[in-house]
Each structure stands twice: as structure tokens, then as C-alpha cells.
């Protein structure tokens, strides 16, 4: 998985006064959990742009006073009116410890059912997986090229040895539903050819 660097400074004081001063300076108070003890730090608000305001997911390389910590975004708080970032929580990653993360789903191929007027229902655009940090994918491919009208793609069809899905086996990722403009799916080409051959064969007449 791709990583974004967050350069910050450790905080000595974590009270309301210092927190307000940080926000006035367009910096965001943050906490890194998962290690021996929580690490409080701050970073400029602009560095979170590519980490937060994107449909993609990334790990974070947090640089603090010469040390670098691998982490994932765990929680984020926004101002209810201005949507400015108020606080960010990170969770530290370790090479030998699995972590749970929501990964975006990427549709691959073209659905025959959609071409025939069916309605594509993309019900789970992100799926929660558990894996070692090195095995976390940037996205999960979901092949819809065989989905006809009425078909569903279940999570069991996306199984991968590198990670475990944290959803029930009957979870529907995407489906094609009928609509007013839908027409019946075409039958297989071989069936079409067979039917055409039967129609073109002349009937045999008995000799008089």
C-alpha cells in the first residue's frame, strides 16, 4: 500500500490552551496509539490533504524528531460548521501484527446485464480486511463482466490469501437489478448459432 509522509512535532503540553494555539496556527493536534505509550504531536493542516480528502486509502509515515513511525489513520474529527480538521488519531503499524482497515473496491470489466438496461447497485464500495501491513492492498478488484440481470457478486468470490474479509460470506458487493428499460439478456453465442442452423436446414421431402 502507498504511504504519505506526515512531518510533525511532538507536543509537550496537551491542555486546551495549547490545543487552541495550535489550531490558530493552522496546525492539527494528533495522537499516535499502538506503541508502548501514546505519542502526542502536531502537524500542519495542509499535509493531511492527500491523506483525508481522497477516496483512496494510504498508510502514513509519521516523522517526529528524527524518528519515523508507520501508521494508519484511525479517527478524525471535523469542525461541525467549517469542516476544518480538529483532531486526528493514528494507530502504529508493526510488521508482525495484523491490522484491520477499510479498503476501496474497484469494479473491473463491463456487465452484460447493465448493457441490456439493468441497474448496477454498488452496495459495498469499501470492504474491511485484516492483514499484515505488507499485505494491505491499495484496492480490491471486483470483476463484474459475468453479471447478468438479477446476478449478485458475493464477497466469497473476492477471497484472497493475503488478507481476510471481516464480513459475513453472504455479503453482496455489487448486483445488477432489473429496470423499466431492461431487456432480456442475450443467450450464448453458441446457442444463437445452433438455432440459426436449425432454421436454415431445409425440410426433407419423401419421394413419391
Task: Kindly report the CATH number assigned to the domain that includes residue 105.
Answer: 2.170.120.20
In a domain, 107, yes or no: yes
Tell me: do 18 and 75 sit in the same domain.
Answer: yes
Please indicate, yes or no, whether residues 46 and 113 belong to a single structural domain of this protein.
no
Q: Which pLDDT score is estimated for 22?
A: 85
Within the chain, strands assigned E span 3-10, 27-33, 39-44, 59-64, 67-78, 85-92, 99-108, 119-121, 126-131, 140-143, 152-154, 164-165, 172-177
Task: Answer with the residue of higher pLDDT: 172 or 202.
Answer: 172
Q: What is the pLDDT of residue 184?
A: 62
**Grid cell in block for residue 101:** 482497515
- Establish if 184 belongs to a structural domain: no
Tell me which of 73, 93, 113 is where a domain ends: 93
Whether 37 maps to a domain, the answer reads: yes
Q: Identify which has the larger pLDDT, 142 or 66.
A: 142
User: Which pLDDT value is given to residue 179?
Assistant: 76
Indicate if 10 and 72 belong to the same structural domain. Answer: yes
Q: Which of 64, 93, 122 is the last residue of a domain?
A: 93
Residues 112 and 163 in one domain: yes
pLDDT, position 182:
61
Task: Tell me the residue range of the domain where 146 lies.
Answer: 100-177
Same domain, 27 and 109: no
Same domain flag for 12 and 80: yes
Name the least confident of 17-31, 83-97, 129-143, 157-171: 17-31
Q: Is residue 129 located within the same domain as residue 86?
A: no
Instruction: Classify residue 32: in a domain, yes or no.
Output: yes
Quote the pLDDT of residue 171.
97
Pairing of strands 3-10, 39-44: antiparallel
Q: What are phi and psi of 143, to 5 degrees?
A: -80, 115
Q: Is 11 found in the same domain as 75?
A: yes
- Its pTM stands at 0.79
C-alpha neighbours within 13 Å on the C-beta side of residue 106: 9
* Lowest-pLDDT range of 21-35, 78-92, 174-188: 174-188
Whether 201 is covered by a domain: the verdict is no
Over pLDDT 90: what percentage of the chain?
69
Candidate from 102-106, 114-118, 189-193 with smallest mean pLDDT: 189-193
Section 82-107 average pLDDT: 95
89 pLDDT band, cuts 50/70/90, is very high
Q: Are residues 7 and 81 in the same domain?
A: yes
The CATH number given to whatever domain includes residue 51 is: 2.40.240.10
Q: Which of 93, 122, 153 is the last residue of a domain?
A: 93
Number of domains in the chain: 2
According to DSSP, the residues that pair with 104 across neighbouring strands are 126
Same domain, 111 and 33: no
Strand 152-154 with 126-131, pairing? unpaired
Same-domain check for residues 62 and 25: yes
Q: Note whether 111 and 45 are same-domain residues.
A: no
Amino acid at each position: 500500500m502507498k504511504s504519505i509522509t506526515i512531518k510533525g512535532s511532538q507536543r509537550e503540553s496537551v491542555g486546551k490552551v495549547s490545543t487552541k494555539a495550535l489550531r490558530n496556527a493552522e496546525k492539527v493536534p494528533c495522537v499516535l496509539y499502538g506503541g508502548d505509550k501514546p505519542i502526542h504531536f502536531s502537524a500542519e493542516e495542509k499535509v493531511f490533504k492527500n491523506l483525508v480528502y481522497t477516496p483512496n486509502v494510504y498508510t502514513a509515515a509519521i516523522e517526529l524528531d528524527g524518528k519515523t513511525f508507520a501508521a494508519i489513520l484511525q479517527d478524525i474529527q471535523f469542525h461541525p460548521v467549517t469542516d476544518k480538521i480538529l483532531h486526528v488519531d493514528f494507530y502504529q503499524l508493526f510488521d508482525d501484527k495484523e491490522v484491520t482497515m477499510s479498503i476501496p473496491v474497484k469494479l473491473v470489466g463491463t456487465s452484460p446485464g447493465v448493457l441490456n438496461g439493468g441497474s448496477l447497485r454498488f452496495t459495498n464500495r469499501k470492504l474491511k480486511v485484516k492483514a499484515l501491513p505488507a499485505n494491505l492492498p491499495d484496492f480490491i478488484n471486483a470483476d463484474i463482466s459475468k453479471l447478468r440481470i438479477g446476478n449478485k457478486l458475493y464477497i466469497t468470490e473476492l477471497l484472497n490469501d493475503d488478507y481476510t474479509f471481516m464480513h459475513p460470506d453472504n455479503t453482496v458487493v455489487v448486483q445488477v437489478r432489473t429496470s423499466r428499460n431492461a431487456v432480456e439478456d442475450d443467450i450464448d453465442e453458441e446457442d444463437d448459432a445452433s438455432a440459426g442452423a436449425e432454421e436454415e436446414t431445409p425440410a426433407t421431402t419423401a419421394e413419391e
